[in-house]
Amino acid sequence: MTDKQPEALRLAEQMEDGRWQGMNDLLAATELRRLHEENEALRAALAQPEPEPVAWMHPEWNTYTRAPAMSITPKEDWTPLYTAPPQREWQGLTDEEIAHAVKSADAPEMVTEEEFLFIACRATEAALKEKNA
């Protein structure tokens, strides 16, 4: 990660400093900071090395083994078993995906800037969760 401050934290700092006017600035700033912390925790969890299977299962034979008989059947016939689910690589959103999420958000026609920011944050969070599910 670079030393550059993430955009969400920069916006939160501006809201807390009173550069924006509105009653919901602190709520939006708090939500931006929460989402940033959640994203960092997810990135850290996904950065862990891929675990090795502890055993293998052959579904047709109802057989479990620590080393499958690859000479008898191909590896594709065996299902790896883990003590924890394997981790996937973190998938961020492109600018286009963020724009689509915000445009697709269910927002009333007349909202304040702070309300729109909150709705946009939630829409982006939902898009990230869906992409990384």
Task: Please determine, for residue 8, whether its predicted confidence score (pLDDT) is greater than 50.
Answer: yes
What would the pLDDT profile of 9-48 be if each residue is shown by its tens digit?
Answer: 777 777 777 666 665 666 777 777 888 888 888 888 888 7
Task: Please determine, for residue 74, whether its predicted confidence score (pLDDT) is greater than 70.
Answer: no
pLDDT of residue 69: 58
Nearest to 64 by CA among 50, 75, 79, 82: 79
Residue given tokens 């916006």 in the structure block: 11
pLDDT of residue 68: 60
Residues 82, 70: Cα–Cα separation, whole Å: 19
Domain boundaries along the sequence of the chain: 22-48+87-131, 51-86
Task: Please determine, for residue 2, whether its predicted confidence score (pLDDT) is greater than 70.
Answer: no
What would the pLDDT profile of 61-72 be if each residue is shown by its tens digit?
Answer: 777 777 765 556
- Residue 86 — very low, low, confident or very high, per pLDDT cuts 50/70/90? low
Residues 87, 68: Cα–Cα separation, whole Å: 23
Nearest to 78 by CA among 89, 88, 63, 98: 63
> pLDDT averaged over the chain?
78
Lowest mean pLDDT segment, chosen from 3-12, 34-43, 44-53, 91-100: 3-12
Residues 88, 47: Cα–Cα separation, whole Å: 9
Percentage of residues in the chain with pLDDT exceeding 90? Answer: 2
Within 8 A by CB and 6+ apart from 91, the residues are 131, 132
Task: Please determine, for residue 1, whether its predicted confidence score (pLDDT) is greater than 50.
Answer: no
